[in-house]
Amino acid sequence: MTIDAKPMSCEEFQSQLAELVGSGANVLNHPHLKECPNDCQRLYQDLQTIADAAKQLFQDQQPEDNLWERIESAIKKGDA
Ligand SMILES: [Zn+2]
């Protein structure tokens, strides 16, 4: 997945964040993360921490297809 360079809202960015982290993209280079005045940096760090833990959990097996959806919805719930 390529990272789109055009500006986006936090809502748009966060809707893609789990997918970006899951794809192994370098999210720290994302233009939104550099300019975001809100919580996206913190959200990214939380998500990366969860992603690393999930990778260790699933390192011997294929992650479930909906793993990232579940992580994303868990974070949205916690962030609301
Ligand atoms: Zn943001």
Going residue by residue through the chain (80 aa), what tens digit of pLDDT does each one get? 565 556 789 999 999 998 888 888 889 899 899 889 999 999 999 999 988 888 787 776 665 667 777 778 887 876 55
State the distance from the centre of ligand 1 to the C-alpha of 62, rounded, in angstroms: 31
State the distance from the centre of ligand 1 to the C-alpha of 14, rounded, in angstroms: 7
Give the pLDDT of residue 5: 55
State the distance from the centre of ligand 1 to the C-alpha of 20, rounded, in angstroms: 14
Nearest CA to 36 among 47, 48, 28, 46? 28
State the distance from the centre of ligand 1 to the C-alpha of 11, rounded, in angstroms: 7
Model confidence, pTM: 0.61
State the distance from the centre of ligand 1 to the C-alpha of 70, rounded, in angstroms: 21
Domain boundaries of the chain, sorted by first residue? 38-80
Do 40 and 28 touch, CB atoms closer than 8 A? no
Query: Quick one: how many helices (H) and strands (E) in the chain?
Result: 4, 0
Sequence-ordered list of residues with C-beta below 8 angstroms from that of 6, at least 6 positions apart, any chain: none
Assign 3-state DSSP to the chain and report helix, strand, coil percentages, each to 5. 65, 0, 35
Give the pLDDT of residue 61: 63
Give the pLDDT of residue 18: 87
